[in-house]
Amino acid sequence: MTLLRGHTIKGVLLRVHSIVGLVLALLLALIALTGAIMSFEDEIVDHLNAGIMQVAPRQAPMLMPDDLIARLKAAQDLGKVSAVTLSSDPAAAVHIRFARDDQGSRPGSLYVDPYDARVLGSPRGEAFFATVRRLHRWLLIPGDAKGWGRPITGTIALGLIVMLASGLVLRWPRRAGSVKMWLKPNLALSGRGLHRSLHAVIGTWVLPVYLAMTLTGLWFSFDWYRDGVTWLLSRPQLAAAKMQPKMPSKRPLAAETAQPIGFDRAWTTFEREEGGRFSRALLTLPAGPGTVIRIRSWEKGRTLETTRDEFRIEAVTGQLLSAERYADKTFGEKIIAAIYDIHRGAILRWPGKLAFMIAAALMPLFSVTGILLYLSRRKLRRPAQPPLGRLVPGE
């Protein structure tokens, strides 16, 4: 009875695994391959643009952000600046990004000389990786993060979790303690046997990586998942209070608020707070009508996206509204900060990124072998046709 029940459960799991796999095979392969392409995006873009990311250091002081932007706009017709990346390295160029235009497209970013605002060039590979990123995250569906692409990719991630769990149960060997049974494919087989061995054994190799990718990928797809993880790992009340912008003690004059929002006062406050500790800082203007500038900074020696500090500064008054430092985070909050780096394997430096890239590139293998196994299984279940000579009238 127990044996029969086990066969019934496995039969149901096999059907679920097959149906979910057939529905999601091509989309999973597409999302995984685009993720693999982006694995070393930073290194590739830096290599392609090494000539425009550096300048000759000079004795003259660097331009303040607003002066630099004003000179840049005076030299050529540009769109609205949305973000500026500054560095403490006197040989590093300033990276300027622009907001979307009225048609919804975003102009290419520019590297600019920090001493005289001379345009050094637009980074090569930026448009390509931006398209790959939109395909990976939102399947190029209009609306980007606000469209249907976000929940669709999240649903695909949930489907992959179902496939990972059911696949692990289905392939559980009778000798579960045998490392050979778990990890060594039988390449002497051919046809269906080889497909099954590759599908099951290589799937075991990459299962932990796929699980890490999926559980972190859901963070970017569903608000309910993000809220749940935040509640589980951090101190949501404290975090909310820490990042809640405080009202300035003195309301700015109407004449001041009527002026365009600039970076200078926020940048001066940031430099006073951080001194010479930072190596790179990303200043972002508010997307809406607000006047709070967000500054993300990385201290010297920190390269991971995870290890950033974050400040919110009132652009009109230069008042520091909040400061969230990586060193002050709890263990759970550091995990949350590391979600993106875990998702792409960067938390383990370049070996982790390489491992995640290879695992992602292997996803089409499971799509192909899974489809072949399904077709061969259908063929085995099809009843054999009797020879024509044995047919009698009426059959």
**What is the per-residue pLDDT across 360-374, written as a single tens digit (0 to 9) for each?**
999 999 999 999 998
In the numeric block, which tokens belong to residue 5? 């029940």
Shared-domain flag, residues 187 and 305? no
Shared-domain flag, residues 26 and 143? yes
316: containing domain: 235-245+263-272+292-329
The identity of residue 289, as a single letter, is P
Shared-domain flag, residues 108 and 174? no
Q: What is the pLDDT of residue 248?
A: 46
Among 269, 238, 207, smallest CA distance to 64 is for 269
Are 79 and 99 contacting, i.e. CB atoms less than 8 angstroms apart?
Answer: yes
**Mean pLDDT over residues 93-122, rounded?**
89
* 3-state DSSP assignment of residue 252: coil
**Mean pLDDT over residues 151-165, rounded?**
96
- Asked if residue 280 is part of any domain, the answer here is no
Shared-domain flag, residues 92 and 146? no
Q: How many domains does the chain have?
A: 3
Question: Is residue 138 packed enough to be buried (19+ CB in 10 Å), middle (13-18) or exposed (0-12)?
Answer: buried
First to last CA, the chain: 39
Q: What is the pLDDT of residue 311?
A: 96
Predicted model pTM: 0.85
Q: What is the pLDDT of residue 167?
A: 92
Shared-domain flag, residues 169 and 96? no
Shared-domain flag, residues 88 and 32? no
**Mean of per-residue pLDDT scores for the chain:** 86
Shared-domain flag, residues 239 and 199? no
- Asked if residue 341 is part of any domain, the answer here is no
Shared-domain flag, residues 57 and 35? no
Shared-domain flag, residues 187 and 106? no
Categorize the per-residue pLDDT at 312 as very low, low, confident or very high, splitting at 50, 70 and 90.
very high
Shared-domain flag, residues 167 and 54? no
Q: Residue 173 and residue 197: Cα distance in Å, rounded?
A: 12
Q: What is the DSSP letter of 261?
A: P
Q: What is the DSSP letter of 306?
A: G
Are 300 and 277 contacting, i.e. CB atoms less than 8 angstroms apart?
Answer: yes
Examine the pLDDT at 2 and tell me if it is beyond 70: no
Categorize the per-residue pLDDT at 256 as very low, low, confident or very high, splitting at 50, 70 and 90.
very low
Q: Residue 305 and residue 165: Cα distance in Å, rounded?
A: 30
- Asked if residue 197 is part of any domain, the answer here is yes
- Asked if residue 74 is part of any domain, the answer here is yes
Q: Please state, in angstroms and as integers, the Cα–Cα distance from residue 42 to each residue in 50, 299, 336, 339, following that order.
A: 12, 18, 22, 17
Among 328, 331, 333, 353, smallest CA distance to 342 is for 353
Give per-residue pLDDT as tens, 212-255.
999 999 999 999 999 999 999 986 555 454 444 444 444 444 44
- Asked if residue 358 is part of any domain, the answer here is yes
Give per-residue pLDDT as tens, 166-213.
999 888 877 767 777 788 888 888 888 899 989 999 999 999 999 999
Q: What is the pLDDT of residue 391?
A: 47
- Asked if residue 128 is part of any domain, the answer here is no
Shared-domain flag, residues 202 and 71? no
CATH number of the domain enclosing 100: 3.10.450
Q: Residue 63 and residue 276: Cα distance in Å, rounded?
A: 17
- Asked if residue 367 is part of any domain, the answer here is yes
Shared-domain flag, residues 186 and 63? no
DSSP symbols for 82-114: EEEEEES-TTBPEEEEE---TTS--PPPEEE-T
- Asked if residue 183 is part of any domain, the answer here is yes
Distance of CA 359 to the CA centre of its chain: 16
Q: Report the residue count for the chain.
A: 395
27-36, 155-164, 286-295: the lowest-pLDDT one: 286-295
Q: Residue 106 and residue 143: Cα distance in Å, rounded?
A: 13
Are 356 and 209 contacting, i.e. CB atoms less than 8 angstroms apart?
Answer: yes
Examine the pLDDT at 118 and tell me if it is beyond 60: yes
32-46, 269-283, 370-384: the lowest-pLDDT one: 370-384
